[in-house]
Amino acid sequence: MFRGKKYQDSAKLIDNTKLYDPSEALDLVVKTAKAKFDETIEVHIRLGVDSRHADQQVRGAVVLPNGTGKTKKVLVFAKGDKAAEAEAAGADFVGAEDLVAKIQGENWFGFDVVVATPDMMGVVGRLGKVLGPKGLMPNPKAGTVTMDVTKAIEELKAGKIEYRLDKTNIIHCPLGKASFGAEKLQENYSTLYDAVLKAKPAAAKGQYMKSIIVTSTMGPGIKINPAKA
């Protein structure tokens, strides 16, 4: 596979046989983000669990102290007072059956995250087949099924992210932008690491944190020592 000159130059800075401390890895990932745009820094955490078993699921949400560098567009399913509360709290879209019709009829996905009050989940359930595969279905564990819509919206706007296992037992999350600098990215990384560690299922056996890699949008992956926060 051919790689561009910037990628090749970045790759020379990294020792692929080494497991870096988080601070060193995040310092390197900023240096290797050489694209003309502000690259997103991502982390990929492989866990020693089997996501096929319900008692080994790892899922939750955490507010990154420095945000993600992207303001999320929040859609809220609510009625009456809760709809008014959601609008006041800064939700980008608020509605009920009308939004279901728009998503189903127009294949509209002009939002990044969905919040719903518990009484609306029967309505939202109709969208399971379209929201589910995109990871957009509201979930109590992620704090997106709640009566406290103000808190949910404020946290999402402040940089709350959801982490969840994919089919290969890996969690993929944004840590922020290259412009944040290593220190802010380290704070975000430590917060996410601690949250995933606390979410360790009782049924998980052996090494829990198997491997951790950080990378920028266009840059090479950098291995982090999974035993260090």
Cα–Cα distance, 114 to 133 (Å, whole number): 14
Render pLDDT for 1-55 as a digit per residue (tens, 0 to 9): 556 677 777 677 788 889 999 999 999 999 988 889 999 999 999 999 998 999 9
Confidence of residue 178 (pLDDT cuts 50, 70, 90): very high
Return the H-helix or E-strand segment holding 161.
Answer: strand 160-164
Confidence of residue 141 (pLDDT cuts 50, 70, 90): confident
pLDDT at site 8: 74
Cα-based angle 222, 228, 229 (whole degrees, multiple of 5):
95
The closest alpha carbon to 45, from 210, 219, 158, belongs to: 210
pLDDT at site 56: 93
Cα-based angle 193, 149, 75 (whole degrees, multiple of 5):
85
What six digits make up the tokens of 80? 């009456």
The closest alpha carbon to 185, from 38, 68, 31, belongs to: 68
Q: Are the C-beta atoms of residues 163 and 63 closer than 8 Å to each other?
A: no
Averaged pLDDT, 172-181 = 96
Radius of gyration of the chain (CA): 19
Cα–Cα distance, 165 to 57 (Å, whole number): 7
Residue 152 is given by DSSP the state H
Total Cβ atoms within 10 A of residue 52: 10
Length of the chain: 229
36 Cα distance to chain centroid: 24
What six digits make up the tokens of 220? 């090479």
Strand order in the sheet with 93-95: 93-95, 74-77, 113-116
Render pLDDT for 72-88 as a digit per residue (tens, 0 to 9): 999 999 999 999 999 99
| Amino acid found at 184 | K
The closest alpha carbon to 194, from 205, 186, 203, 202, belongs to: 186
Q: Are the C-beta atoms of residues 206 and 217 closer than 8 Å to each other?
A: no
Averaged pLDDT, 94-123 = 95
